[in-house]
Amino acid sequence: MTSMIAVLFLLLSAPQRTPLLNLYLEAADHAADGNLQEASSRLEEIAARMPDDPRARYNSGINSMLAGDFASADSILSSLPQGNIQGDTLLEALSSARLGNAMAQGDYAGVQSVVEMLLPRISAGEASMRMAQNWEVALKWLQQNEPPPPEDQQDQEDQQDQEDQQDQEDQQDQEDQQDQEDQQDQEDQQDQQDQEDQENEDQEEEEQENQPPPPSNPEMTPEIARAILDMVEEASADTASAVPGGSIGAPVW
């Protein structure tokens, strides 16, 4: 009796969840109205409550693809078992989602994988109209886009790019070193010129110091003039002598 009461209490206290059918109808209405975000939330709840039902996950993937989220659609649909899901071809939906995701990412290999995925159905003539359209779109995209280089070639290109970058760095280092050497040479040359200028200046100053002083030109004072006249008179008186004929003799200095 106590156990029965506990079970009833749990049932009554459990939160009421929207029936799955109602969730599906709501998702369908929102999708028809273009409200894909609202539809997505309900489809994700259905898939979470029915994890073993591939149709629930399929619907969620289709809605993601309609919303333009090709990456999520590709991830969801890729997890489903291969084959038909209640009349809807999984391969058709998966090729659409993968093609949209690969083209959006510019993934050449991804687009090529769609071609390989559809090739058996195209060859056997069993492709649906959507598969044939995906096939044509994928081939056209591959023709209009360059394939990536092989891995070995890409490695060589990467290595060449690294070598070119290293060469540029080495050349820049050499130029910087040469600039430093040139600058040092200029500084050394300037120092040498400054030293020579200083030596020449010192030599000129020394020569000027060793030159004899210029002769002085004392002012002619009356005393000096009188002394000179006295010397002349004394010299004339002392050196004059009479010679025959009464001629004046030359002074004897």
Angle between helices 90-105 and 70-78 (to 10 degrees): 140
What's the token pair of residue 98?
A: 């993968």
Q: Under 8 Å CB-to-CB from 66, ≥6 apart: which residues?
A: 31, 36
Give domain limits for the chain: 17-144
* Residue in the structure block whose two tokens are 């970058």: 165
Residue 44 CA to residue 63 CA, distance in Å, equals 10
d(CA 191, CA 189): 5
Q: What is the full DSSP assignment across 112-176?
A: HHHHHHHHHHHHHT---HHHHHHHHHHHHHHHHSPPPPPHHHHHHHHHHHHHHHHHHHHHHHHHH
| Amino acid (1-letter code) at residue 12 | L
Q: Distances from the Cα of 126 to the Cαs of 40, 118, 139, 212, in angstroms?
A: 31, 10, 18, 126
Query: What's the pTM value of the predicted model, to 2 decimals?
Result: 0.52
Looking from the CA of 90 toward its CB, the CA atoms found within 13 Å total: 19
Give SS3 for 23. Answer: helix
The hierarchical CATH code for the domain 17-144 is 1.25.40.10
Burial class (CB in 10 A: 0-12, 13-18, 19+), 131: buried
Per-residue pLDDT of the chain (253 residues; tens, 9 = 90+): 444 444 333 333 434 667 888 888 888 888 888 888 888 888 888 888 888 888 888 988 888 888 889 999 999 999 888 776 776 788 999 999 999 999 999 999 999 999 999 999 999 998 899 999 999 999 999 999 989 888 765 666 677 788 788 878 888 888 888 888 888 888 888 888 888 888 887 777 777 777 666 555 556 677 777 777 777 676 665 555 544 444 444 444 4
Q: Percentages helix, strand, coil for the chain, rounded to the nearest 5?
A: 75, 0, 20
